[in-house]
Amino acid sequence: MRTLYRAARVRTLSYPAVGEWILVDGRHVERVGAGDPPTADRVIELPGMTIVPGFVDAHVHLTGTGVHHQVPDLERAASAGAVLEIVSRAAATRQGPMLVHGYDESRWEHREPPTAADLDGLSDRPLAVVRVDGHLSLANSAALRESGALDLPGVERDEQGVPTGRVITEANAALQRWFASNLADHDIEELQLHAAALAAARGITTVHEMSMIRERGMRDLEVLLGHRRRLPVDVVPYIVTTDVSRAMELGLPRIGGDLPVDGSIGARTAWLSEPYEDGSGNGNSYFDRDSLAQFFHDGHLAGLQVGVHAIGDAAIDQVVSTWERVYLSLDSRGRRHFRARRHRIEHVEMASADVLERAAMLGLAASVQPSFDAAWGSPGGLYEQVLGRERAAGMNPFRDILHRGIEMGAGSDSPITSIGPMIGIAAFGSHHDPLQRLTRDEAIRVFTIGSARLAHQEDKKGSLEPGKHADFAAYDGDPFEVPDVGGLRPVLTVSLGRDVYAA
Ligand SMILES: [Zn+2]
């Protein structure tokens, strides 16, 4: 069946740059053109609107996004008291163990989060409140006990040895995994579907899913693979593991994704070469040199694309050094093909000019989150609070990354920041350092063809050309031109030729 979409303009990000209609045959674009349109079985009139290629969010956690949106007010809570009030309201409407996500104390006037005792006061059912970045949780006594987290490293204790409720690293992963194990398959499907529908409603047609099997178990990915064809957006899964044979058994050409080489700035677990300003040390390193090299080597030789999460400068340096070591171990033929693999670094926030130069030499790709800068990069924000002014100033050097010729795609890391490319595109344009800002055109390209290239899908996605996937969104205002792009929402989203969202 052929469908014709007629609009004021179709921005192709290809040649010719602008058309007036797009003809879709099944899942694919047949033709883009101007003037008299061809006949079709179905005609969708979009008068005055602008069609652009569907956005690709290169870093999403679908289930986590669904969980976040069960209690969405938490991100706006401005004190420990407000968190407790929201959690207590949510607890009253639900049964059994409850995990909620999304508080961010870095924006509070008094930055003391609730304690285990506070949470015990709310419920004797297992209860956990996960920090916005996912790298730290607050848990009540029942949650600590029943999840088995108490026996693991990462449970903070006071001088008397009593847990404070703050949980990081291994204990945090075990805690979250235990809560996930209490969900039925159907619950997981619903959470993923809710998240995918939200993405479609924001003009996204493809997401790169970072499947956190350490925090959610294998079942989370299995459920996703079981229903991904029915979801409103196309899903490109990255399995967060070092187990190369497991990825291959699942038929996945990609591995690692958000696999943490370090943690986050907010949890003070991002691995830094110089200590945090507030005396909390240098953060955490999750891999020794040799085991990371082994993983990179095995993944590369198996023909997989490998990704890892690295935020702090020490972590990014470790990743790049380790790839250099793997590269040098290859013969000349292997070296010739290395760059084409576009091994990924997720976040790559605290990157120096030197490390970017070395990453560019290896053809490594950057998967960035511009909304991190908008949330935490401004003067007085989280990064300045914990890194000091000088280091905070150099965070998220987007223009430097582009100038080095590094492949760059963008994402939300939802639920860490809200899903929605326009928020990210606005953030690219309002970076705390004016020299690192991207133009509107560049920002849109990074969120479409740039992200498509990060998954080796540029022959199918990211621009509107004959034979490519029919992935696009139509807007009342032209995303290339409207002054305030951040709040722009699509009127229609089409993914793989299906109308997946209509306002
Ligand atoms: Zn990450």
For residue 270, the CA-to-ligand 1 centroid distance in Å is: 10
Alpha-carbon gap, residue 355 to 320, rounded angstroms: 7
- List 474's β-bridge partners, or say none: 51, 492
Mean pLDDT of 30-43: 96
pLDDT of residue 279: 87
Instruction: Say how many Å lie between the CA of residue 14 and the centre of ligand 1.
Output: 31
Mean pLDDT, the chain, integer: 96
Record the pTM.
0.94
Please give the share of the chain, as a percent, with pLDDT higher than 90.
95
pLDDT at residue 107 in the model = 85
Label residue 94 by pLDDT band (50, 70, 90). Answer: confident
CA of 402 to the centre of ligand 1 (A): 21
Which of 231, 237, 195, 194 has its CA nearest to residue 218? 237
Report the separation in Å between the CA atom of 483 and the middle of ligand 1, taken as the mean of its atom positions: 31
Does residue 502 have a pLDDT over 90? Answer: yes
Report the range out of 42-46, 133-137, 332-336 with the highest average pLDDT: 42-46
C-alpha of residue 103 to centroid of ligand 1, in Å:
17
Is 208 a residue whose pLDDT tops 90?
Answer: yes
Ligand 1 midpoint to CA 309 (Å) = 5
Using DSSP, state whether 334 is helix, strand or coil: helix
| 339-361: pLDDT as tens digits | 999 999 999 999 999 999 999 99
Asked if residues 344 and 305 have their Cβ atoms less than 8 Å apart, the reply is yes
Cα of 370 vs centre of ligand 1, distance in Å, is 13
Ligand 1 centre and the CA of 266: distance in Å? 12
Between CA 31 and CA 23 the distance in angstroms is 5
**pLDDT at 72 > cutoff 90:** no
Q: With 90 as the cut, is the pLDDT of residue 106 above it?
A: no
Give the sheet arrangement for strand 155-157, strand by strand. Answer: 98-103, 127-131, 136-139, 163-168, 155-157
Helix axes 185-200, 218-227, angle to 10 degrees: 60
Contact partners, residue 415, CB within 8 Å, separation at least 6: 61, 64, 65, 67, 68, 69, 101, 102, 132
Please report the DSSP string for 125-147 in residue order: S-EEEEETTSSEEEE-HHHHHHH
Query: Does residue 54 register a pLDDT over 90?
Result: yes
Distance, CA 57 to ligand 1 centroid (Å)?
Answer: 14
CA 250 – ligand 1 centroid, Å = 22
Rounded distance from Cα 398 to ligand 1 centre (Å) = 17
What are the DSSP E strand ranges found in 34-126? 42-53, 55-60, 98-103
**In the prediction, which pLDDT does 212 show?**
94
Structural element, H or E, at residue 301: helix 289-301
At 190, list the tokens: 């619903």
| Contact status, residue 71 vs residue 102, Cβ threshold 8 Å | yes
User: Is residue 292 very low, low, confident or very high in pLDDT (cuts 50, 70, 90)?
Assistant: very high
Whether the pLDDT of residue 69 is over 90: the answer is yes
pLDDT for the residue 503: 93
Helix, strand or coil for residue 358? helix
C-alpha of residue 134 to centroid of ligand 1, in Å: 9
Is residue 108 within 8 A of residue 76, CB to CB? The reply is no
Q: How far apart (Å, rounded) are the C-alpha atoms in residues 244 and 233?
A: 27
- Which of 126-135, 425-434, 465-474 has the least mean pLDDT? 126-135
| pLDDT score at 133 | 86
Look up residue 12 and give its two tokens: 């192709």
Cβ neighbours of 117 (radius 10 Å)? 12
What are the pLDDT digits (tens) for 410-428? 999 999 999 999 999 999 9
> Which residue shows structure tokens 């999403």?
60
CA of 107 to the centre of ligand 1 (A): 21
CA of 369 to the centre of ligand 1 (A): 10
pLDDT in tens, 420-466: 999 999 999 999 999 999 999 999 999 999 999 999 999 999 999 99
Q: Supply the pLDDT for residue 135.
A: 86
Distance from residue 478's CA to the centre of ligand 1 (Å): 32
pLDDT digits (tens, 9 = 90+) for 138-166: 999 999 999 999 999 999 999 999 999 99
Of 27-41, 122-136, 237-251, minimum mean pLDDT range: 122-136
pLDDT value of residue 450: 98
Instruction: Name every residue whose Cβ is closer than 8 Å to that of residue 313 and which is 6 or more positions away in sequence.
Output: 272, 273, 350, 351, 352, 355
Using the mean position of ligand 1's atoms as its centre, give its distance from the Cα of residue 440 in Å.
Answer: 25
C-alpha of residue 412 to centroid of ligand 1, in Å: 10
Q: How far is the CA of 470 from the centre of ligand 1 (A)?
A: 29
CA triplet 311, 316, 318: central angle to 5 degrees?
Answer: 135
